[in-house]
């Protein structure tokens, strides 16, 4: 099992550009989530999904969109990148929201 | 609502003990603990459910006092490999049961 995979590992964007961070899991987990991690701020939830076709907002959803068309994939879209979105992004999955979460290796995003 | 972790940082020598606390202003259903090494993803340690659980994991254990709405993580006889940032995540009782993470506690173990 590959677990949770994320691509790309690093990305540099210019302000206003859009992009999609990819996340996939092969554990047949229903629950998937996206976090951003900034120094001293911990892990903040952006969006989450409790199953294919079901998504909801977390603590910091502004500027991000998600969709969940399959159980395996949960992409995160930045619509118009801003310097405030410079961060490390982690995708995670678990059987249910309250279970052990498996995190992907992260994507380090810099917006200039 | 984000739980509060204390202390923010701990510096130890190998063999010393440490306690990391996690507290909430709301009644909790569960507390999750994760460790993140520098440049890596967070890794699960344990989950404690309401009911006054205690759990152990080698020399790392934790307690959950639901009346005080807090949990403590105990690291005994620290090893160099324990270095990293520890996060607690809390699920509010009667809430969405989506865990919210604290800001983390940095633990540095020196030889």
Give residue-wise pLDDT tens across range A18-65.
999 999 999 999 999 999 999 988 999 999 999 999 999 999 999 999
Of A43, A45, A99, the CB nearest to B87: A43
| Res B55 pLDDT > 90 | no
* B4 CA: distance to closest CA in chain A (Å): 11
Q: What's the confidence (pLDDT) of residue A15?
A: 98
Q: What is the pLDDT of residue B57?
A: 72
- What integer pLDDT is reported at residue B50 of this predicted model? 86
On chain B, the residues whose CB falls within 8 A of the CB of A50 are none
Q: Assess B91–A contact: CB distance below 8 Å, yes or no.
A: yes
- Tell whether the model's pLDDT for residue A95 goes beyond 90: yes
Per-residue pLDDT, B93: 86
CA dist B38 → A22, A25, A39, A60 (Å): 22, 23, 12, 24
Closest CA to A8 of A60, A78, A56, A55: A78
Q: What is the dihedral of CA B20, B25, B26, B28, to 10 degrees?
A: 10
pLDDT at residue B31, rounded to an integer: 95
């Amino acid at each position: 099992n590959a677990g949770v995979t994320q691509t790309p590992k690093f990305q540099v964007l210019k302000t206003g550009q859009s992009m999609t961070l990819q996340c996939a899991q092969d554990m047949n987990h229903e629950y998937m989530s996206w976090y951003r991690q900034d120094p001293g701020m911990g892990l903040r939830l952006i969006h989450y999904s409790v199953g294919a076709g079901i998504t909801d907002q977390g603590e910091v959803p502004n500027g991000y969109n998600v969709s969940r068309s399959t159980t395996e994939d949960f992409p995160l879209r930045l619509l118009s990148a801003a310097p405030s979105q410079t961060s490390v992004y982690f995708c995670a999955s678990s059987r249910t929201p309250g279970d052990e979460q498996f995190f992907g290796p992260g994507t380090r995003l810099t917006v200039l | 609502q984000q739980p509060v972790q204390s202390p923010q940082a701990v510096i130890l020598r190998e063999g010393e003990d440490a306690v990391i606390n996690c507290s909430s202003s709301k009644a909790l259903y569960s507390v999750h603990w994760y460790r993140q090494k520098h440049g890596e993803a967070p890794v699960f340690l344990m989950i404690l459910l309401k009911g006054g659980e205690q759990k152990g994991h080698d020399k790392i254990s934790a307690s959950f006092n639901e009346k005080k709405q807090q949990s403590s993580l105990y690291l005994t006889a620290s090893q160099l490999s324990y270095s990293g940032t520890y996060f607690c995540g809390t699920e509010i009782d009667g809430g969405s049961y989506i865990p919210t993470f604290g800001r983390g506690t940095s633990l540095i173990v020196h030889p």
